Structure 1
Amino acid sequence: MLLPFEEAIQHAVWDLFSQSVGLPLWRLLGDKRDELAVYASGLDFHLSDHAFQELFGRAADAGFRGYKIKVGHADIERDLGRLDLLKKATGDDGRPVMIDANEAWTAAETLAALDLFARAGHDIYWVEDPIPRDDFDGLRRLRLARPGTRINSGEYLDLSGKRRLLQADACDMLNVHGQVSDVMRAGWLAGEHNVEVTFGNSFLEVGVNMALALPGVRWLEYSFQNFEHLVEEPYPVRDGLIRGHDRPGHGLRLSRTARDEHRTPEPLSEAALPPAPRWERPA
């Protein structure tokens, strides 16, 4: 995952500001809770069946509070097979199961898929981005047609788009992540519409600071991105719950190894630079 430049700058500024007042970022933003449930998200479309089962089996053993898998394959039976494998890997432990289609379906295809999954015994807690992000009419129709399955959307929309999504009454859950200020604005806006907020991936789970500070948040996504070695102490995740740091700022500090391996080389002094080539005008 790449961190956009503007997002990195915002996190740095908010980190410095919260350090200047001696508060953890999540407390500065207005702590509503001190821990949050984490669901295991596989980013698993490319995984073999064996790797898929291993990943979610480990997630179940680690106590993650829910599981999200990718769907939207050209062959719907492949999606159904993955749900069967998930149930086998996790021991059918009763924890919520979410699916993410990444806008692969039409509204009709979404309804057909959910009906197929239900007949096969799979209770879907939410379906994320089933159809194109700006098809607000289609998303609203899905909400009305399948009230038992929540529609989670908004991840790919900017703040203005999220406002239109909420005004259209087109989602049960608003998915947010990214720049601190925009996320907080979107979260407060969702609260005004009585819509639950869910948090998608953020680099090193730094989004937990906003998730702990906004009302109506119950879930944060964890996708096993394996960046924890870059910092001295990642955000603690125990028994399927994530907590913010108690240190001022966002609390993440680059490890010495990361500093040594990835630091920018010192610029050469002018004396050490090779002489500039001399160009002569042709006769």
Structure 2
Amino acid sequence: MTDSEFMTFFAEAASAGFRAFKIKVGHRDPHRDLHRLELLRQVVGSDVQVMIDANEAWTVEEAAQRLTLFRDSGFPILWAEDPILRDDFDGLRALRAMVPWVQVNSGEYLDISGRRRLLQAGGTDILNVHGRITEVMRIGWLAADMGVGVSLGNTFLETGVHAACALPEVRWMEYSFQNYDHLVDEPILIRDGHAHVGRRPGIGFALSSAAREAWSAPEVLETEELAIGPVCAVLQRHRQAPTPMSDSHTAARI
């Protein structure tokens, strides 16, 4: 986003009643990150919760330096999401000790086994989960057993709100203003920064008839009518040309 788009987006979120905001950081120039934090404060005020997501941009030392810089520049941060590599469990544990004023949020990109090892290593203050409900419930209960908070990352149509309500340690759920509400008759109600769960059974959604008519797929084409993509064309040439056994193994791996 440009600075103008950034400010417009968060001003609209604030006007909708949200009181917690997450922004991307991790730019090579730390002053670029400070600039965005200042813009955020200008549009939403200082009496809010601010989270940052570095998308694994830093080393442990860099993360500690940046988080210290943000604090000393007057920007209190609730959590730093994925500040370093996702599977550097020792580094995440060390970072928690180095910056105790910021909570580390990690686990979004790990599978259930990786999240278990992350918890066992003491590498996160908040476990980030989303995706398959069964997997979320399993690891969410383990986090609760270990006294670790849980946040629900982005989930399609906010289906994660059901898991959030069913687990004891969920404190936050992300909302990204993704325009999927038109697909169902009654979407999850988001009002004043809170998700309001309906009382219909299961996930509670019914596919909208209007959406089904407007967004239905085109007629199915026969195989011979399909265009050949670049990868398929390469494989097709491999199949047609006489090649030694070693080359055919290479084509199979592709």
The answer, yes or no, to whether TM exceeds 0.5 is yes
Query: Tell me, what secondary structure is at the counterpart of 1:73?
Result: coil
CA RMSD of aligned residues (A): 1.3
TM-score by length of 2: 0.84
Q: CA offsets per residue over residues 105-136 of structure 1, 9 Å max, x none?
A: 11111111111111210000000000000000
The reply on whether 1:123 has 2:96 as its aligned counterpart is no
5 Å-filtered alignment, 1:33-52, equals 47-52=1-6
Unaligned runs of 5+ in 1: 1-46, 269-283
Query: Tell me, what secondary structure is at the counterpart of 2:186?
Result: coil
Match of residue 39 from structure 2: 85
Q: CA offsets per residue over residues 221-278 of structure 1, 9 Å max, x none?
A: 001111112221210111111021211121122222210022245669xxxxxxxxxx
TM-score by length of 1: 0.76
Identity across aligned pairs (percent)? 57
What's the offset of the Cα at 1:65? 2.7
What's the offset of the Cα at 1:95? 1.3
Query: Tell me, what secondary structure is at the counterpart of 1:63?
Result: coil
Structure 1: distance between partners of 2:167 and 2:145: 12
Match of residue 227 from structure 2: none
Match 1:180 to one of 107, 125, 133: 133
Match of residue 240 from structure 2: none
Q: CA offsets per residue over residues 18-53 of structure 1, 9 Å max, x none?
A: xxxxxxxxxxxxxxxxxxxxxxxxxxxxx0100100
Structure 1: distance between partners of 2:15 and 2:128: 26
Match of residue 186 from structure 2: 233
Structure 2: distance between partners of 1:63 and 1:161: 35
More helix by percentage: 2
Unaligned runs of 5+ in 2: 222-254
Structure 2: distance between partners of 1:91 and 1:157: 34
Structure 2: distance between partners of 1:266 and 1:72: 45
Counterpart code for 1:85: L
Match of residue 176 from structure 2: 223
Structure 1: distance between partners of 2:182 and 2:30: 37
Match of residue 156 from structure 1: 109
What's the offset of the Cα at 1:204? 1.0
Counterpart code for 2:43: A
Counterpart code for 1:260: E
Match 2:16 to one of 45, 62, 67: 62
Relative contact order, higher structure (CA 8 A, sep 6+): 1
5 Å-filtered alignment, 1:1-283, equals 47-92=1-46, 94-264=47-217
Aligned length: 221
148-157 or 221-230: which moved more?
221-230
Structure 1: distance between partners of 2:208 and 2:27: 39
